[in-house]
Amino acid sequence: MTGPSPPAQSMPPGRLFVAGAGIMGSGIAAQAALAGWEVDLYDVQQGFLDRGLSTLKKDMDRLVRKGKLTQEEGTRTSARVRGTLVLESAKGANVVMEAAPERLELKRELFRALDAVVPAQTLLGSNTSSLSITAIASTLRDPGRLVGVHFFNPVLAMELVEVIPGFRARPEEVARAVAFSKALGKTVTTSKDAPGFVTTRALAVLTNEAIWMLHDGVATREDIDTAHKLGFHHPMGPLELADLVGLDTMLSVLERLYTGFRDPKYRACPLLVSMVEAGLYGRKSGEGFYRYTPGAGGSGPRST
């Protein structure tokens, strides 16, 4: 199922349940709240939830500082998002967006649990950046209702959403996923359910190649990033971007491409593997290819 996006009906704001309060979940929650949605932001531990809600609050404060929202609008938008550790809160949702870690079995288990809770008419979306939507959907009683809805990082700044129909997705659910993304102010492309879709496949190769260059001593991390920024007009270098995405997520994506295509060109650089094994996940853990000052938000790497 590829080709132009199906015609989208407009979707008025309703209730959104976001599963996973990490980098992407908090961003999707913020974007939806800005568009007038009431949001339940779900995670499995209070600490993760607190971190997601605090990121969201910082995003709103930033918009207020930039004059894009009044203080009152910022407060009202934050108040539309409630944190929850209770999966059953998804019961009243019009839309569920899953933004849990990039692990197939974890996502399948989560959707199995959601399937027992959400009504038949709720739209189900997964924000996976590389996993098979078809394999995630096959865990549902009705696999036709799940659609890949791939937001980009940082959600508030990035215009694109890739919509990915699984093998058995119903066209009307795909149209709803497009309408939902547009209602959040995004531009939509659709792609087949191939590993990494369009964007992640390209990004993974570029990033992995940059890590190989660092591993091989071709250039310093700064020169690799500067060369991409100035040579290709990329807003961030690939190593900075890998830190932003999360090195654990980058590695999961490469493993998915490697096994999905059975092609050695996707083999993850051993430096990336070692860094993930060492717990160096990038910005979210405070250190990746660069070190980050706690609370510095989007201010970029501290060069150490």
Ligand X SMILES: NC(=O)c1ccc[n+]([C@@H]2O[C@H](COP(=O)([O-])OP(=O)(O)OC[C@H]3O[C@@H](n4cnc5c(N)ncnc54)[C@H](O)[C@@H]3O)[C@@H](O)[C@H]2O)c1
Nearer to ligand X, 86 or 218 (CB): 86
Cβ 218 to ligand X, closest distance in Å? 25
**Residue 44 touches ligand X, criterion: CB under 6 A:** yes
**Residue 43 touches ligand X, criterion: CB under 6 A:** yes
**Residue 256 touches ligand X, criterion: CB under 6 A:** no
The β-bridge relationship of strands 146-151 and 160-165 is antiparallel
**Residue 22 touches ligand X, criterion: CB under 6 A:** yes
Number of H helices, E strands in the chain: 11, 8
**Residue with smallest beta-carbon separation from ligand X:** 22
Find all residues with CB under 8 Å of 35, minimum gap 6, and list them. Answer: 13, 183, 184, 185
Cβ 255 to ligand X, closest distance in Å? 12
Q: Of 22-30, 167-175, 204-212, 230-238, which segment contacts ligand X by CB under 6 A?
A: 22-30
**Cα separation, 110 vs 139, whole angstroms:** 10
**Residue 238 touches ligand X, criterion: CB under 6 A:** no
Cβ 113 to ligand X, closest distance in Å? 8
**Residue 100 touches ligand X, criterion: CB under 6 A:** yes
- Quick note: the x/- pattern for ligand X over 121-140, rule CB under 6 A, is ------xxx-----------
Strand partners, 232: none
- The string of DSSP codes covering 210-262 is HHHHHHTTSS-HHHHHHHHHHHH--SS-HHHHHHHH-HHHHHHHHHHHHHHHT
Question: Helices 199-215 and 270-277 sit at what angle, rounded to 10 degrees?
Answer: 90
- Residues interacting with ligand X, by CB under 6 A? 19-25, 42-44, 48, 99-102, 106, 110, 127-129, 150-153, 245-246, 249, 284
